[in-house]
Amino acid sequence: MLGYYVDLAVRSLKRSPGLTVLMILAIGFGVAASMTTYSVFRAVSGDPIPWKSSQLFVPQIDMWGPKGHGGDGDNGDPPDAMDYTDALALMHDHRAKYQSAMYMISPSLVPSQAGKHPINVGGHAVYSEFFPMTDAPFQYGNGWTAADDEQRAAVAVISDKINQKLFAGANSVGKTIDVDGKDYRVVGVLKAWNPQPRFYDVSNTGGFTTNDEDLFIPFLRAIDVDMANSGNTNCVDIPAQSGFKGLQQSSCIWMSYMVQLDDAPSVEAYKSYLDGYAREQQHAGRFSWAPNNRLRNLPKWLDAEHVVPTDTEISLLVAIGLLVVCLVNTAGLLLAKFLRRSGEIGVRRALGAPRTAIYAQFLVEAAIVGFSGGLLGLLLTGVGIHSVSWVLPKDIASLARLDIPLLLLTLVVAVVATVLAGIYPTFRASRVQPAWQLKSN
């Protein structure tokens, strides 16, 4: 029976090609606009580590006090990064299952082959617990040990891309690389890993970045060799001394910090620890204000940092509104088209066709319009995704992609939306009285 309804629908659509094309265009453009903006919104609002994001927390300590507040829109939150003093103190006390202070680095790798130019790379100085905490995937080897942290060992974890450049993709664990003129032993090679948003260092990246993470070295080793910070540095007071050493002795914030807390008691204990630490600093005379700390899990932290750009949310709402307008117009066109066939409907009803048959016939016709509009929407969505870089920053636009789930969702949205738009016109068509139509004809 479905084949019969499809045949009737195709014949009907062919009889009025102009109206059919107009409906397909309306659905295609409406679906393409909503799916293009949805692809961007999906990319920037996704959970970068959904299996454990509720266990990852970002502690904040107010080391600036009232002078660090008071700007427009300020809600009294402490700074979103840490200074060197507090980061090392929290690492020393070690009150979490896993924890790591970290800062951005951008050293040069010098290839061992003669005549090859140095490679500028980006990465982070971290502690050994960074890797199990973030579930960083390894292709070869592993991260370094806690003993390596304490001994300031010259070890490194490199990315798959750097491993390809320096060692042709072979297992390079145990090999030596030259980082800023100093030898480091490779202990691990990461698989392709580029979490977006860059959840472990939102303070420096804003959440999204096209920069690669090619090198990780021990935090204390990086400090010992004066490997400069290449991320953000914010200060409320001018450092007493200049240079990297002066930065370490200042109240300037330039470090990200993350901890893993597996259950509610651990979270409560860590909150109490942060408040106790702040009170100790107050009693020691370093802070002259009451403790003002925060401990947010990863989803709340990303929300607090406004990682999802507001303009993407607004664009999605506008695109959905456009789709609704297109559907309303399509519903009007379907209503006009169906009621114009009142005579045909009256004859079918007079010959014994039930209202359910009329419903089925016209809903199938609406579904065919929706499917055709969806195919056009797929083409336009592909064009839209490749064009979002014209209106959005490159590091955000590059995340939008047309994958199989989005392809299927586009078709489903087009068909379901058009069928819903066709419900009222179909209802009106099914209410046609056969006797009136036969008498008028």
Q: How far is CA 388 from CA 31, 237, 303, in A?
A: 16, 41, 23
Over the Cα atoms of the chain, what is R_g? 31
Question: For residue 26, how far is the Cα from the chain centroid?
Answer: 30
Higher pLDDT, 439 or 350: 350
pLDDT of residue 389: 66
- Beta carbons within 8 Å of 202's beta carbon, 6+ residues apart: 58, 80, 256, 301, 302, 305, 307
pLDDT of residue 282: 92
pLDDT of residue 430: 66
- Between strands 123-126 and 138-141, the pairing is unpaired
**Is 327 a residue whose pLDDT tops 70?**
yes
Q: How far apart are the first and last CA of the chain?
A: 28
pLDDT of residue 225: 95
**Is 437 a residue whose pLDDT tops 50?**
no
- Judge if the upstream peptide bond of residue 405 is cis by omega within 30 degrees of 0: no
- CB contact at 8 A, 189 and 173: yes
**pLDDT per position as a tens digit, 22-35:** 888 888 888 888 88
- CB contact at 8 A, 95 and 185: no
pLDDT of residue 396: 64
Alpha helix locations (H) across 249-309?
A: 264-283, 298-304
pLDDT of residue 438: 46
Q: Maximum distance among all alpha carbons in the chain? A: 99
Place of tokens 């579904």: 367
pLDDT bucket at 112, cuts 50 / 70 / 90: confident
- CB contact at 8 A, 57 and 296: yes
Report the C-alpha gap between 19 and 258 in whole angstroms.
Answer: 59
**Is 46 a residue whose pLDDT tops 50?**
yes
Give me the mean pLDDT over the 376-380 stretch. Answer: 87
Q: Which two tokens stand for residue 280?
A: 């100790």
pLDDT of residue 72: 46
pTM of this prediction?
Answer: 0.74
pLDDT > 90 fraction of the chain, expressed in percent and rounded:
44
Place of tokens 């507090």: 86
- Beta carbons within 8 Å of 320's beta carbon, 6+ residues apart: 34
- Beta carbons within 8 Å of 254's beta carbon, 6+ residues apart: 81, 83, 84, 103, 229, 231, 232, 233, 234, 247
pLDDT of residue 82: 95
